[in-house]
Structure 1
Amino acid sequence: MNLHFFELAYLSRLRSGLFYTLVTCTLLLSISCKEKKDTFKQKNSAGPTTVDVIIAKIERTTERVEVNGTVVANEFAELRPEVSGLLTFLDVPEGKTVQKGTVIARINSADLEAQANRSAVQLELAETTEQRIRKLLDINGINQADYDVAVNQVNTLKADILYTKALIAKTIVRAPFTGVIGLRKVSAGTFVTPNNVIATMQQLSNLRIDFTIPEVYQKYVVKGGIVDVSIDQTSEQMQTARIIATEPQVNQSTRNITVRALLNAGTTSPGSFVKVYLKSNQDKSSILIPANSIIPESKSKKVVVVKDGKASFVTIETGARQADNVEVTKGLSVGDSVVVSGVLFTRPDAPLKVRSVRSLKVSEE
């Protein structure tokens, strides 16, 4: 009886614990649901989004096109041997200026020089023989054919010597122009071929800028015209360059035109990246908006316009771009209030509160 009594007491306590646990969970669930409802009500009851706007109006600007460019040396050459052989002499003053014609390297030419000496000895004998036969010809002591053979022998040996000297000249690598020589790629005693680069040379005076532009901007490129060049991307200082030539044919793959300009001032290294700015000679009128007010999408661009106190998302088309502003060619009208701050917090048809009307900063081109 006592055992049965204790079992009933245990079951009673167990049921009481389960009951309290169930009641506790129910209360917690009710509190959580209430908090979510309160949060939802707070979000729905939140005030309008505060934004700043500009009033779209016609601005007079100079159309400016920004493209990428590359610095090109006035002269550039890879110093390679014309013939294969052993390097017996090498003088590459790395990073220094060398004069045109300076000997940079020599290939072993002992066999060619020996051949030239041999031909010189044979030529001396052939010339002596030709002089003797000519004296005999003057007194009719020999026929003309024998004299012609002697003269031909002299001329053949002279041609052989010139040919051998030309081969010897190919074993000498000289500086093709006055410029700065680069890093040495080989060492003396190396067997080299015409595929080996001994060093590179570049002429750093009269640096040039090569850049490509879409064919639609071809009207802005005129020989002798001036373009602005930004060499240092961290500085606002601009250099100028004079257009000296354009590629006569448009690239059929990219529909771009390659242009070359001569840098008037500034120091930089060949191969450096620069920004080139082209501008037209005529001012035009158009609507401009800040670039950061545009919402890019996969196939379109949009801006937020305040209409009747609510956010209206408008699809636009853009044209030329300035440093901070973008030309709008379609989608906006004069007088539209374009949101320029708080764009990311706006939603379609959501209420907006205009905090201030800003003025557009138009850069002087």
Structure 2
Amino acid sequence: MNSIKKSARSDRFLVNPFSLLTISGTIFLMLSCGEKKDTFQQKGGGGPVTVDVIIAKSEAVSDKVEVNGTIVANEFAELRPEVSGLLTFLDVPEGKVVQKGTVIARINNADLIAQLDKIKIQLQLAETTEKRLKQLVAINGINQADYDLAANQVNTFKADMVYTQALIDKTIVRAPFTGVIGLRKVSAGSYVSPNSIIATMQQLSNLRIDFTLPETYQKYITKGQNVDVLLDQNSKKLVTARVIATEPQVNQTTRNITVRAVLNSGDTSPGSFAKVYLKTNSNKSSIMIPTNSIIPEAQGKKAVVVKNGKAVFVTVVTGDRLADVVEVTSGLNVGDSVVVSGVLFARPDAPVKVRSVRNLKVGVK
């Protein structure tokens, strides 16, 4: 019995070999994770960011505004019927010149014509009665009230004729002006409504161009002024257009004004794209930087300059904008090293490494 109890007490101090393996494995994993974390942190906090810069300098820029425009017809109309009905006549000479007033389409108006004929017969009878009563009232053969009633009946029938004729006119579609008619959209025998487009008409003489300008250039636009227009991007040949009107109100969303000019020459079609060049006659020298160097923020705009090997964020005020560059009116000085590549990776007061100094090309038009 004593030997059995002793051996039982000694079993309490035996160590399970599987427990030792588990503890050793846990310690090994903890050490391994700690080493990997330290290694990642060292890699992530590496050397300075590599950037490309330009040296800010005063550039001579011709203040010539370039905007997009759209060619529009002198007159344009969508030919639609005023009433619903069946097309009984349709004459759409596609692509040809149609004179003003030419009948393009007719809608079934047989009921209105029959009603007009009925009113004409009633009017003839009313006029005959009115003439007879007029002779009788002259010799006091009838009361004046009876004659007035007959005269009023004549006027009523005349008014009905005018009204019915107006309804008949609404069933006829005519060319509103002399111009080129487009493609036919419906066929004879179709049921049409005021929402149906029969065809379109455009007047191709004296083509116009509509374009928008920032409100800051409104002072440079006057009625009768000539602007240069590029119709063909391949030929690079400029034509002139004369400004005829400007929208009196500035668009509250885009802060632009709409301008309309008449082309003096040029072979183009309505809806075509065009470039408009506006001369402001004011050459100036400004600091120009690429547009991708500007960092927009809620309170303004910033740019990154390199000073003493570190990135410094400065607040800038921009002015006119050209194709790929923007004018900086405040915030930069001549000689500053402005970051143009790697802007997104730069951090305030963080070290940077300048890889190259680029040359800025400002397009002078």
In the superposition, the TM-score normalised over structure 2's length comes to 0.72
Deviates more, 1:48-57 or 1:316-325: 48-57
| 260 and 105 in structure 1: CA distance in 2 versus 1, 3 angstrom threshold | same
- What whole-Å deviation, never above 9, does each CA across 1:46-78 have from its counterpart, x for those lacking one? 333222211111111122445554443321112
Q: Which amino acid aligns with 1:322?
A: L
- 2:346 counterpart residue number: 346
2:226 alignment partner in structure 1: 225
Q: Does the CA contact (< 8 Å) of 2:87 and 2:188 recur in 1?
A: no
Aligned to 1:260, the other structure's residue is in SS state: strand
Confirm or deny: 8 A CA contact 2:304 2:314 kept in the other structure.
yes
SS at match of 2:16: helix
Q: In the TM superposition, what are the counterparts of 1:174-189 in structure 2 within 5 Å?
A: 174-177=174-177, 178-185=179-186, 188=189
Please tell me the residue identity of whatever aligns with 1:21. Answer: T
1:217: how far off? 1.5
Task: Report the equivalent of 1:211.
Answer: 211
Q: Corresponding residue for 1:357?
A: 357
- The whole-number CA distance in structure 2 between the counterparts of 1:319 and 1:31 is 57
Runs of 5+ unmatched residues, structure 2: 125-137, 139-150
Q: Distance in 1 between the 2:294 and 2:235 partners?
A: 24
Q: Does residue 1:31 correspond to 2:32, yes or no?
A: yes
Q: Report the equivalent of 2:90.
A: 91
Task: Report deviation, 1:317.
Answer: 1.2
Q: Aligned pair in 2 of structure 1 residues 334, 114: CA closer, same or farther (>3 Å)? A: same
Q: 1:354 to 1:255 in 2, by over 3 A?
A: closer
User: CA 1:116 to 1:346, structure 2 compared with 1: closer, same or farther past 3 Å?
Assistant: closer
Residue number in structure 1 paired with 2:246? 246
Which position in structure 2 is the counterpart of 1:149?
Answer: none
* Kept in 1: contact 2:64–2:278 (CA 8 A): yes
1:259: how far off?
1.0
Matching residue's letter, 1:340: V
User: What one-letter code is carried by the residue in structure 2 that aligns with 1:202?
Assistant: M
- Aligned pairs for 1:19-58 (under 5 A) are 19-44=20-45, 46-58=46-58
User: Taking every aligned residue pair, what percent have the same amino acid on both sides?
Assistant: 52
What SS does the corresponding residue of 1:188 show, helix, strand or coil? coil
Cα separation, 1, equivalents of 2:35 and 2:66: 57
Question: CA offsets per residue over residues 186-205 of structure 1, 9 Å max, x none?
Answer: 7525364xx34442423262
User: Cα gap change, 1:175/1:37 in structure 2, threshold over 3 Å: closer, same or farther?
Assistant: same
Deviation at 1:123, TM superposition (A): 11
- The reply on whether 1:72 has 2:84 as its aligned counterpart is no
Distance in 1, Cα, partners of 2:290 & 2:336: 14
Measure, in 2, the Cα distance between the counterparts of 1:161 and 1:38.
99
Number of aligned pairs? Answer: 342
Equivalent residue number for residue 127 of structure 2: none
Q: Cα gap change, 1:315/1:283 in structure 2, threshold over 3 Å: closer, same or farther?
A: same
> Is the alpha carbon distance of 1:91 and 1:348 closer, same or farther for their aligned partners in structure 2, counting shifts above 3 Å?
same
Q: Which secondary structure state, in structure 2, belongs to the residue aligned with residue 313 of structure 1?
A: strand
Task: Give the alignment of 1:1-365 within 5 angstroms.
Answer: 15-44=16-45, 46-65=46-65, 67=67, 69-82=69-82, 84=83, 86-91=85-90, 93=92, 96-100=95-99, 101-110=101-110, 169-177=169-177, 178-185=179-186, 188=189, 190=191, 192=193, 195-203=194-202, 205=204, 206-223=206-223, 224-228=225-229, 240=239, 242=241, 243-250=243-250, 256-263=256-263, 264-265=265-266, 267-270=268-271, 276-365=276-365
* 265 and 299 in structure 1: CA distance in 2 versus 1, 3 angstrom threshold: farther
Q: 2: distance between equivalents of 1:361 and 1:346?
A: 24
Call closer, same or farther: CA 1:318–1:73 in 2, change over 3 Å: same
Change (3 A) 1:198 1:359: closer
Q: Distance in 2 between matches of 1:107 and 1:161?
A: 19
C-alpha distance 18-90 of structure 1, shift in aligned 2 (>3 A): farther
Deviation of the 1:308 alpha carbon: 0.8
Alignment partners' CA distance in 2, 1:29 and 1:71: 73
Deviation at 1:161? 8.8
Cα separation, 2, equivalents of 1:122 and 1:201: 41
**In 2, distance between residues paired with 1:355 and 1:289?**
18
One-letter amino acid matched to 1:356: S
How big is the alpha-carbon RMSD for the aligned residues of Structure 1 and Structure 2?
Answer: 4.7
Listed one character per residue, the Cα deviations across residues 315-355 of structure 1 (whole Å, up to 9, x for unaligned) are 11111111110101111011101011122222211222222
Q: 1:237 deviation in Å?
A: 5.5
For the residues of structure 1 that align with 2:49 and 2:235, how far apart are their CA atoms? 36
Offset at residue 168 of structure 1 (A): 5.0
- Report SS of the residue matched to 2:42: helix
**Structure 2 counterpart of 1:318, one-letter code:** T
